Amino acid sequence: MPTLAEVLEARTADAAPELIEHIERGRIRCYACGHECPIPEGAAGVCKVRFVRDGRLHVPWGYVGGVQCDPIEKKPFFHAHPGSLAYSFGMLGCDLHCSYCQNWVTSQALRDPAAVSAPVDASPQAIVADARRLEARVVVSTYNEPLITSEWAIEIFTAARAAGLMTAFVSNGNATERVLNYIRPWIDLYKVDLKSFDDRHYRQLGGRIDPILFTIRRLYEMGVWLEIVTLLIPGFNSDPDELRRLTTFIASVSPDIPWHVTAFHKDYRMSDPENTTPDMLMEAAAIAKDAGLRYVYAGNIPGGVGDLENTRCHQCAALLIERRGYLIRSYRLTAAGACPDCGTGIPGRWGTAFGGQIASSPFLPGTRRLRTL
């Protein structure tokens, strides 16, 4: 039986020339993520899925680690075509190793023997055809870290765009200037997980904070629609001062960037902290609004966080989109994406009309059987 690493080694292509540099002593520097690994012959980068052999950087290609149809609210995007279906695929591997990861079966497949997830061969044409069959609006690279598999994502996104679909990354944001320039022509929406505002915390997870802050600034400058999520973990990133600095930073980039603060549930290896309570989310949301953010949402506790699942006009406070969990209960934006009461434009990527909601729960494409990944 081949090992998972051997199975994946057979499913690779050459790295995009934009994402590599040949450096001293025969090594190749990879720019697909903020680690910028200098990789010698015969070795792999920190992510373990990009490796150098015969003087070439091999990168993941031609498979998916999982596919699922999600309401776009689950990604979460709250200001991009509410109610639409997000055809979501992942590959395997990650460049961080968060002990609380909720997608650890795919993200840690090469690090953790308990995280077994077999790749399934796939083609862009088949993925896009399936997305269209299910009337998805967006194709999303998610579940593992999409930056480290950018070449395959762009191959799929090229086909998705040609079919009139939008595209998105759900990412930890540990990017480089080069990879953002590489994906920019092909990406519409980007979700960044801003996990903390403390570099020591990021180092515990295997990263640094600076590349993530750079990514947020750069995506905004590039005009990619950006929403930010922070999983609120009691005792890890819940200090009010840290939350104040984190949300002040986002507001300094733009007060129009939606911020989702979501509840932690004990998971994977991080079982010490208590679960996040609705009160904790509401206190964090109050800090964010005080910092100047206009669109603040609380997630993972449907029906338990009052008005923090809804979108209100930042000008006149009119209720524009009412939600419970992933379910859209009402939608009042105008065709131009404005408040119907005061006419203020609401930042986002809106359709000219609400198209209804295909599903308010995730399902598998082949079966439509409900399942949470």
Q: Which of 8, 16, 37, 165 binds ligand SF4 (CB under 6 A)?
A: 37
Q: Which of 8, 16, 30, 187 binds ligand SF4 (CB under 6 A)?
A: 30
Residues 85-124: x/- map of binding to ligand SF4 (CB under 6 A)? ----------x-----------------------------
Provide the minimum distance between the beta carbon of 50 and ligand SF4 in the complex, in angstroms, as a whole number: 4
30 versus 320: smaller Cβ distance to ligand SF4: 30
37 versus 85: smaller Cβ distance to ligand SF4: 37
CB under 6 A: which stretch of 39-47, 128-136, 224-232, 243-251 binds ligand SF4? 39-47
Burial of 220 (0-12, 13-18, 19+ CB in 10 A): middle
Structural tokens at position 217: 């600034």
Q: Which of 8, 16, 47, 281 binds ligand SF4 (CB under 6 A)?
A: 47
Q: Which of 18, 36, 242, 322 binds ligand SF4 (CB under 6 A)?
A: 36
Provide the minimum distance between the beta carbon of 27 and ligand SF4 in the complex, in angstroms, as a whole number: 11
131 versus 175: smaller Cβ distance to ligand SF4: 175
Provide the minimum distance between the beta carbon of 65 and ligand SF4 in the complex, in angstroms, as a whole number: 16
Q: How far apart are CA 373 and CA 369, in angstroms?
A: 12
Q: Which of 11, 12, 16, 35 binds ligand SF4 (CB under 6 A)?
A: 35
148 counts as binding ligand SF4 under rule CB under 6 A: yes
Provide the minimum distance between the beta carbon of 93 and ligand SF4 in the complex, in angstroms, as a whole number: 8
32 counts as binding ligand SF4 under rule CB under 6 A: yes
Q: Which of 8, 16, 28, 33 binds ligand SF4 (CB under 6 A)?
A: 33
Provide the minimum distance between the beta carbon of 3 and ligand SF4 in the complex, in angstroms, as a whole number: 19
58 counts as binding ligand SF4 under rule CB under 6 A: no
The residues binding ligand SF4 (CB under 6 A) are 30, 32-33, 35-37, 45-47, 50, 95, 148
